[in-house]
Amino acid sequence: MQIRVVFGETSTRNEFELRTINHFSCKKSWKDLVGTGTLKIASRSYFHDQDYDLKDLIKVGDPVTVYAGYDNELVQEFIGFVATVKPTIPIEILLEDYMYKLKHTAAHCIFSSCTLAQLLAKIIPKGIAYSAASISLGAFKATNTNVASCLAKLKESHGLSAYFIGKKLYVGLVHLARVEQNLTPIYTVNIPQGVRKHSLEFKAVDDVKVKVTVTSGKGVKAVVGDEGGETISMRIPKITQSEAERYANERLKKVKVAGFKGSVDLWGLPYIEHGEIVTIIDRDYPDKKGNYYVDAVNFAWDSGGIVRTLEIGAATK
């Protein structure tokens, strides 16, 4: 079991790396605007034949990449920037993915009407690759703010997801497997023998609680589904009340399906990204085999081993 933490070159120091740490964890999900991580490291480290106080080397805004794995087969688990350095013992370093850069990029735009592509072309800085859904937004205004706040506004007003995978931004595109048009499951989760532990529970259609809300313009709002469960909000410009109701019911039909709900703890490998598809097989219920999107991935590395926790999302159709 190994880990490699690389702090990229800055204007004040060269690149350096750590291979001995106390703890690393991160969470990434298409539901979250910002992917986050936590590092815990000793306050001093010896490399390049010198003893260093790491608090003097690691600063907010520094680039960082984390690799982890077994037997020298390391994969990139996180790439982003230092968001906070806590002077504790051990030192605790909070990380953010590339959304950190967009938090620190100013945004100013006023559109009487625009598409998502037009908005992103205006506000996303050069050097950031992105993919976006083909959506009309209507009027959009952002002044004295930053790009990340604009994306958060889109999430709130239009129900559009925005997240990074690596250095690439995805907006309005929920599942990576669908974006890349690769619906082949990348891994089979065998319960119980193939997992560390799990909280998966198979739910019938009537036990799945989902509420869908579709809005459009003044007074157009359709709400269908159940209280007390997952909520899905969509804003679709220039549709009628009857069209809003149709969209809401179509969306509800897609998500209110029987299947496994919960999470599953695996080992460090294979590498699995949120938005990809896994097959779930329960030895006790072989007839309930199915393919599912991964909604979130939580990764943890410490002296107790490596744990990759998958939060299971909707069944594929």
- CATH code (residue 241): 3.30.1920
Q: How many domains does the chain have?
A: 4
- CATH code (residue 77): 2.40.10
Please indicate, yes or no, whether residues 133 and 251 belong to a single structural domain of this protein.
Answer: no
User: Closest Cα partner for 206 from 241, 157, 256, 272?
Assistant: 256
Please indicate, yes or no, whether residues 198 and 138 belong to a single structural domain of this protein.
Answer: no
Q: Which two three-digit tokens encode residue 221? A: 């709002």
Please indicate, yes or no, whether residues 144 and 118 belong to a single structural domain of this protein.
Answer: yes
- Show the low-confidence residues of the chain (pLDDT under 70): 45-51, 317
Please indicate, yes or no, whether residues 139 and 174 belong to a single structural domain of this protein.
Answer: yes
What's the sign of the alpha-carbon dihedral 37, 2, 91, 9? negative
Q: How many residues does the chain have?
A: 317
Please indicate, yes or no, whether residues 61 and 149 belong to a single structural domain of this protein.
Answer: no
The whole-number pLDDT of residue 62 equals 98
Neighbours of 130 (CB within 10 A): 16
Domain housing 41: 2-96
Exposure string for 57-76, b = 16+ CB within 10 A, e = fewer: ebeeebbbbbbbbeeeeeee
Please indicate, yes or no, whether residues 194 and 312 belong to a single structural domain of this protein.
Answer: yes
Please indicate, yes or no, whether residues 65 and 167 belong to a single structural domain of this protein.
Answer: no
Please indicate, yes or no, whether residues 120 and 31 belong to a single structural domain of this protein.
Answer: no
Please indicate, yes or no, whether residues 13 and 40 belong to a single structural domain of this protein.
Answer: yes
CA distance 156 to 158: 6
Please indicate, yes or no, whether residues 247 and 157 belong to a single structural domain of this protein.
Answer: no
Decide: 311 and 295 in contact? Cβ < 8 Å.
yes
At position 283, the amino acid (one-letter code) is: R
Sequence-distant (≥ 6) Cβ neighbours of residue 214 within 8 angstroms: 221, 222, 223, 233, 234, 235, 236, 244, 245, 247, 248, 251
Please indicate, yes or no, whether residues 263 and 164 belong to a single structural domain of this protein.
Answer: no
Phi, psi of 126 (to 5 degrees): -60, 145
CA distance 121 to 127: 12
CA distance 292 to 306: 23
Q: Which two three-digit tokens encode residue 159? A: 């129900």
Please indicate, yes or no, whether residues 197 and 297 belong to a single structural domain of this protein.
Answer: yes
Q: Is the peptide bond before 237 cis (omega within 30 degrees of 0)?
A: no
pTM, two decimals, is 0.88
- CATH code (residue 173): 3.55.50.40
The tokens 């259609």 sit on which residue? 205
The whole-number pLDDT of residue 50 equals 65
**Which H, E and C letters describe the chain, residue by residue?**
CEEEEEECCCCCCCCEEECCCCEEEEEEECCCCCCEEEEEECCEEEECCEEEEHHHHCCCCCEEEEEEEECCEEEEEEEEEEEEEECCCCEEEEEECCHHHHHCCEEEEEEEEEEHHHHHHHHCCCCCEEEECCCEEEEEEEEEEEHHHHHHHHHHHHCCCEEEECCEEEECCCCHHHHCCCCCCCEEEEECCCCCEECCEEECHHHCCEEEEEECCCCCEEEEECCCCEEEEEECCCCCHHHHHHHHHHHHHHHCCCEEEEEEEECCCCCCCCCCEEEEEECCCHHHCEEEEEEEEEEEEECCEEEEEEEEEEECC
Judged on CB neighbours under 10 Å (0-12, 13-18, 19+), 227 is exposed
Q: Which two three-digit tokens encode residue 3? A: 């880990």
